[in-house]
């Protein structure tokens, strides 16, 4: 498991500061690896570390540029961040519980590249999110 430390911050040209370490820490620790900036902020406050929300955004953005963190734009115009363990994966979000499940499917990955090629492009990135509901869920239509 990729775990980032001071060295990684330095490598990214970022000074070792309390907010940065705390945020990195939080992302490592977090049971729920996918957090919004707001969540990170709240969590830090709860733990007594009072960083500004603006700093959280700035740090997360810097981490993203540095490749330490991935940003995903889920539905509803808000982003979630997660540590970049450079094991690529996509997401499945349960509409009832909000649970986020990660998955990676080689078949889909391959087809994506092929499709881009077929259209004369090369794949730079992609975003795939499956919105699902529990199979045994209350409303069983179809």
Partner DNA sequence: ATGGATGCAAACTGTTTGCAATATG
Partner DNA sequence: CATATTGCAAACAGTTTGCATCCAT
- Minimum gap (Å) between residue 75 Cβ and DNA: 11
Report the alpha-carbon distance of residue 104 to residue 89 in Å, rounded.
5
Locate 135 and state its tokens. 């199979």
- The residue among 17 and 137 lying less far from a second copy, judged by its C-beta, is 137
Q: What angle do CA 25, 54, 48 make, to 5 degrees?
A: 45
**Residue 1 interface partner, choices DNA, a second copy, none, CB cut-off 5-8 Å depending on type:** none
Q: What is the CA radius of gyration of the chain?
A: 18
User: 22 and 16 in contact (C-beta within 8 Å)?
Assistant: no
∠ CA 100-103-105 to the nearest 5 degrees?
A: 150
Which partner, a second copy, DNA, none, binds residue 53 by CB below 5 to 8 Å per kind? DNA
Q: Is 112 in the site for a second copy (CB under 8 A)?
A: yes
Give the interface with DNA as residue ranges (CB under 7 A). 10, 13-20, 36-38, 50-55, 57-59, 61, 77-79
Whose tokens are 């090629």? That residue is 117
CB of 58 to DNA, least distance (A): 5
Return residues touching a second copy (CB under 8 A): 73, 75-79, 92, 94-95, 101, 103, 105, 107-108, 111-112, 115-117, 119-137
């Amino acid at each position: 498991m990729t775990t980032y430390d001071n060295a990684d911050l330095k490598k990214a040209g970022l000074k070792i500061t309390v907010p940065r370490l705390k945020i990195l820490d939080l992302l490592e620790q977090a049971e729920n690896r996918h957090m919004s900036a707001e969540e990170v902020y709240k969590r830090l406050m709860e733990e007594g570390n009072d960083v500004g929300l603006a700093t959280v955004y700035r740090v997360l953005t810097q981490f993203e540029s540095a490749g330490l963190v991935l940003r995903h734009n889920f539905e509803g115009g808000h982003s979630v961040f997660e540590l970049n363990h450079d094991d690529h994966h996509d997401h499945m979000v349960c509409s009832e519980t909000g649970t986020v499940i990660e998955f990676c499917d080689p078949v889909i990955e391959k087809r994506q590249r092929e499709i881009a090629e077929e259209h004369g492009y090369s794949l730079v990135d992609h975003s795939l999110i499956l919105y699902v509901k529990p199979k045994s869920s209350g409303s069983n239509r179809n």
